[in-house]
Structure 1
């Protein structure tokens, strides 16, 4: 199948598939005489695997590591994949904590602001972000 067919089959854009190729995550199985990329069902499975990894928040490097494990299961142990998943979970928990702190700060900032039509010279949000007391 050509890259457009692969895109339709996997729900990924042609641009994204080319990006994954450049990143070394996906490779066309061959080329036609007209130099079009040719993909197999295995390539579609790999593209879908990459898509699922992205949906789980894995980086390109983490996805590459998971593909390596997937492609040579006999040479790897389950603990390798689990370590990658656990590290991703910890990263996400850290991000969630940071985002929750941002929400609290923004809630406090917006609560201080009157939201009126007065000059921004007196805006408590701007004053707080500048480090001045409100």
Structure 2
């Protein structure tokens, strides 16, 4: 049996994280001592490690709850049930990566369009591009407009 601090230390997390998982219904202590200390079993440690691994690959608490419910009732579930959850998450990650790639491209274009000098920002190409209602970033440098 583990007390909360022992289990937290064994899994390289802090006590508050363990309490958070308990509060959110992901993990429950197997029992409590007469003085109210939480006690966890080796099975609880395995569940906590499952939670931490699922979190490490990007699953949310709600998704982890769903995975845990399948884990607990494996015999009544199909592998396809788990794959569906993973594929949904993978699709969301792919969409986020595409969005981040668009952000990167736009920010790179904005940065490349600006000379970054110490002259007034009155003709700053970045500000002008953000004020504009078009997607084009002017590729002129401030210093060309400032005559330097």
User: What TM-score do you get using the length of structure 2 for normalisation?
Assistant: 0.85
Is 2:43 aligned against 1:6? no
Cross-structure match for 2:21:
20
Q: Report if the CA contact (8 A) 1:21-1:27 is conserved.
A: yes
Moved more, 122-131 or 100-109: 122-131
Distance in 1 of aligned mates of 2:126 and 2:65:
43
Cross-structure match for 1:93:
94
User: What TM-score do you get using the length of structure 1 for normalisation?
Assistant: 0.93
Indicate the structure (1 or 2) with the bigger Cα radius of gyration: 2
Cross-structure match for 1:67:
68
When the two chains are superposed, the root-mean-square deviation of aligned CA atoms in Å is: 1.4
Distance in 1 of aligned mates of 2:37 and 2:24:
19
Q: Report if the CA contact (8 A) 1:12-1:51 is conserved.
A: no
Moved more, 82-91 or 121-130: 121-130
Aligned CA distance change for structure 1 residues 109 and 24 (closer, same or farther; 3 Å): same
Aligned residues between the structures: 134
1:73-84 maps to which residues of 2 (within 5 A)? 73-84=74-85
Is 2:59 aligned against 1:58? yes
Specify the SS of the correspondent of 2:50. Answer: helix
- Specify every segment of 5 or more residues in structure 1 that has no aligned partner in the other structure, as ranges: none
Specify the SS of the correspondent of 1:109. Answer: helix
Shift of 1:63: 0.6
Please state which structure has a larger fraction of its residues in helix: 1
Aligned CA distance change for structure 1 residues 120 and 18 (closer, same or farther; 3 Å): farther
Cross-structure match for 2:103:
102
Shift of 1:131: 2.7
